[in-house]
């Protein structure tokens, strides 16, 4: 059975928690939108899942504006004008320099994989490789990773198989000897599988019983998944 030589991760929602509902509520109020964190959190998760099921557009900014227009609208219960959503996103980006909290299971997962002498990497739909590295650095885990691949730097984004193949090529590992974890079933897990990698969907609010794609609820399950694959077991 092939050895899994490399394990790659998504960034936001997988290693770090980029959701700042309280801060986003304050920005929304600055943009004359009155809502509460609970309504925003519910709308965010709902719209994120819906967008994951769509065919993504090429322009990242257009997609982000539409995402926030829909999310804010659902949170307040009425349509949000396009210009208001653009203004909201502009303020979010201008204040997006705070450390993202590291999920409690992330460091232990990385330490176990590194102790097993596996290469580690990040594949992220983000503005640039430099920004991803800055986020990892502020979270105190940047030194774990041998390669960081960002859609903004590469000019290609998930779910395009090319971005996963670039990552494994730079690690010197064939796709069949790589494993990928992300918090979205389509953009992450199914897309990585289409590129030839093994993959799982990290669904922290789920049951862990899903099989298409295989579902886990914690990063602490990743080392076991990897070892199972190496024995020829199905996830």
Q: Which of 45, 77, 94 is the last residue before a domain boundary?
A: 94
Number of structural domains the chain divides into: 2
Q: Where is average pLDDT lowest: 23-37, 48-62, 150-164, 215-229?
A: 48-62
Residue 40 lies in a domain: yes
Indicate the residue among 94, 112, 136 that finishes a domain.
Answer: 94
Q: Kindly state the tokens that stand for 119.
A: 């290469």
Domain boundary among 94, 109, 142: 94
**pLDDT reading at 57 higher than 70:** no
| Domain containing residue 147 | 6-16+100-230
Peptide bond into 190 cis (omega under 30): no
Q: What is the pLDDT of residues 160-202, one digit of tens each?
A: 999 999 999 999 999 999 999 999 999 999 999 999 999 999 9
Whether 66 and 84 share a structural domain: yes
Mean pLDDT of 102-112: 98
Quick one: 52 and 113 in the same domain?
Answer: no
Residue 166 lies in a domain: yes
pLDDT digits (tens, 9 = 90+) for 15-32: 999 999 999 999 999 999
**What is the rounded CA–CA span in Å between residue 8 and residue 132?**
14
Q: What angle separates helix 82-94 from helix 21-30, to the nearest 10 degrees?
A: 130
- 62 with 144, same domain: the answer is no
Q: Which residues contact 163 (CB under 8 A, 6 or more apart)?
A: 123, 149, 151, 154, 156, 157
């Amino acid at each position: 059975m092939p050895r899994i030589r490399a394990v790659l991760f998504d960034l936001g929602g997988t290693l770090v928690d980029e959701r700042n509902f309280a801060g986003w509520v304050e920005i929304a109020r600055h943009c004359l939108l009155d809502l509460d964190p609970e309504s925003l959190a519910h709308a965010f998760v709902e719209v994120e899942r819906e967008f994951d099921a769509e065919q993504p557009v090429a322009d990242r900014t257009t997609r982000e504006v539409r995402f926030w227009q829909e999310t804010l609208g659902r949170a307040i219960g009425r349509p949000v004008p396009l210009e208001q959503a653009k203004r909201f996103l502009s303020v979010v980006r201008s204040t997006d320099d705070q450390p993202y909290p590291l999920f409690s299971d992330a460091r232990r997962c990385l330490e176990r994989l590194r102790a097993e002498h596996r290469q580690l990497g990040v594949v992220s739909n983000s503005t640039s490789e430099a920004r991803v590295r800055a986020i990892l650095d502020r979270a105190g885990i940047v030194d774990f990773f041998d390669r960081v691949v960002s859609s903004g730097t590469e000019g290609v984004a998930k779910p395009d198989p090319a971005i996963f193949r670039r990552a494994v090529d730079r690690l010197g590992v064939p796709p069949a000897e790589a494993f990928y974890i992300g918090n979205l079933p389509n953009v992450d897990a199914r897309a990585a599988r289409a590129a030839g990698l093994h993959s799982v969907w990290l669904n922290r609010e789920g049951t862990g019983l899903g099989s298409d794609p295989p579902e886990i609820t914690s990063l602490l399950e990743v080392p076991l998944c990897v070892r199972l694959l190496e024995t020829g077991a199905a996830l």
